[in-house]
Amino acid sequence: QITVDFDVSETKIQIPSLLFISVVENAFKYGISYSKPSFISIFAKIKDEYLIFETKNSKAKNFRFT
């Protein structure tokens, strides 16, 4: 399951191209299980002239990042 929520209206904030590509790529790479139901959530919001960006996934419990 993939959920995307971009609550970003027109603003003067400029975001460089592909800034979040590695974060989103890692959410998929380390958050998907082929044997169990999985989820990925991507969230972006502008608040008080700041960009809040968040990804969540269903990382496997036995996964170790080295």
Higher pLDDT among residues 4 and 48, named by residue:
4
Res 51: pLDDT:
86
- Residues with Cβ within 8 Å of 27's Cβ and at least 6 positions away in sequence, in order, are 40, 42, 55, 56, 57
Q: Give the residue-averaged pLDDT of 27-50.
A: 87
- Determine the average pLDDT of the residues in 9-36: 86
Q: How far apart are CA 55 and CA 43, in angstroms?
A: 6
pLDDT of residue 32: 85
